[in-house]
Amino acid sequence: MRMLRAAIMGMVFLAGVSGIPSEGQMGQPFPEQPPAPGRPGVEVPPMGPSVSPQIQARQAQSQNSERQKRLIADTNKLLVLATELKQDVDKTNKDVLSVDVIKKADEIEKLAHSVKERMKG
């Protein structure tokens, strides 16, 4: 009986001690960092006083050129997907709509939204 009581008390003690987090485990919460200005997901390189205006202008021109290339590639892809979608719809029955047609329409919608957002920025 005594051993049973000692075993139970030991288990209760261990359960109590292990349930209490130590000071090192609790830690301080990290402060929230304010979001960077501009569009979300787009990192802006730091432009400190050491960067000359000519370099800034070249960087901006390079970024615009890359954006334009991506827009052209994405709009070409949109055209191809839309043409394929029309061909697929023409092949389907008026009562049955293919899952592939729906998937292609979703892909077109996502790509069009991406192009629209890129044009804004």
What confidence tier does 29 reach under pLDDT thresholds 50, 70, 90?
A: low
CA 25-9-12 angle, 5° bins: 35
Average pLDDT over residues 82-87: 93
Compute the CA torsion angle 63, 64, 67, 68 (nearest 10 deg): -150
Q: How far apart are CA 94 and CA 31, in angstroms?
A: 58
* Model confidence, pTM: 0.51
pLDDT at 1 over 70: no
**Token output for 94:** 């008026």
Average pLDDT over residues 61-78: 93
**Token output for 118:** 């890129």
Report yes or no: 115 and 78 within 8 Å, Cβ to Cβ.
yes
